[in-house]
Structure 1
Amino acid sequence: MPEQLTYPYCYTDGQNHRLNLRTAVDGNGEPYVWVEAENLAHGGDQVSMWLTIEQVAELDAALNTGSEYHAADHTGDSLSVTPSAPWTTFTVTRQANDDEESATVPVVVLTGRLPELRDALAMTAQFAQQRIAAGARKPYVLTPAEHDRAWHAIEGAAGEPGADPGTILRAVLGALQILPPSAEDWQAAREELHGRVGRKPSRGE
């Protein structure tokens, strides 16, 4: 996985539509990947849906074979993936409810960026599962010295030409002497994710 890949992941297409991937955990402690599509134009729609870890694995398999894919969450909001030669369209649709009207936002992802997106899906799914495990542990509290080093690292990295979230994240991790996942860690996460394909989804609704 490329070192510059950051969390949360976002991709903006040429039509000014953006796809975001984040972790989510429901009230029963089930991990999800939150898929959000935004029309960045003024007044544009913002829609989202939640993929189970099993659905993420199925989506990854579909992207690997260039197949169409469709999934819906427990609210009826959905994701449709339609491949073509130069790009793949990710369409997120919100069902109408008491508070909002139905809305659809398509995001066109260039074929050359699909490997990056697949890695981001695997990374986000892994982070969602780690959130479950971390919930049972007492959070680590920074010492004043660690907090000071992280603060100055952010100040320094943010001032670098062309600084992006990846640059700042690496600076903070370095200041705290925390190692990011290795390439082998990312590969193991991908293999574990692929191994889930075909399993019956287990929702915590």
Structure 2
Amino acid sequence: MKTFFVRALSVLVFATSMTAVTGAYAQTTYAQYIQLWKTNWAAYEAEEAIPLSQRGVVVQSVDLRIVINRPIDKVYAIYANVYTATGLHPYLSGIIPINHHQHGNVETFDFVALENIPMPDGTIYNGQTISRQRFHSDEFYYDADTYDAPGVITHQHIVFTAIGQGQTQVIEHLTFEAPAQYIDEEVQGGAYAHQLVQQGLKAEIEAGELDATSFDPWLEGK
């Protein structure tokens, strides 16, 4: 399968994407987002290096399945585009691209997800979740790891399978790691958000409202 990512990105593309950031995040510069990603990714790697039994976190996994009535090439190319979740994910308000590169032999996209998350007390938490997404286009799957303070981690393994007659099954294997006081909220809210995105993507892909795009306009949110 020919990958739908066409070339490496320039700083200009990253800077252009910042123009759409508004609200609580508008005063953050792109340089600050880069530093945020680097700092929090280092924190993520440090946490992951500690055995789970010593980290004081709870781990729960959820599998979400859906069948989309379109061929696997098209479904993968659209579904793996994180920007397609904008408007479908109930908390996601924006994506800040950080880096598109080869990590070993794997095409990789680093970004910050801006989220407005309702809290039990009625306030809104302005989350800045860092993520690294790894694409295995020839095998029709991708992985993503996300991290947000205080020590909330999600591992995603998204697998696409052609099941005949132009249909594609998508299974999202989601694993949540969080301190005990946050785990229920993370699992329930995370699974709910991913289900809404799945259902929205199925409807829009089957209706022909979404097309695969090359990587540069992808990161600009077009």
TM score, norm. by length of structure 1: 0.29
Q: Which has the larger radius of gyration?
A: 1
Structure with bigger RCO (C-alpha 8 Å, 6+ apart): 2
TM score, norm. by length of structure 2: 0.28
Q: Which has the higher strand share?
A: 2
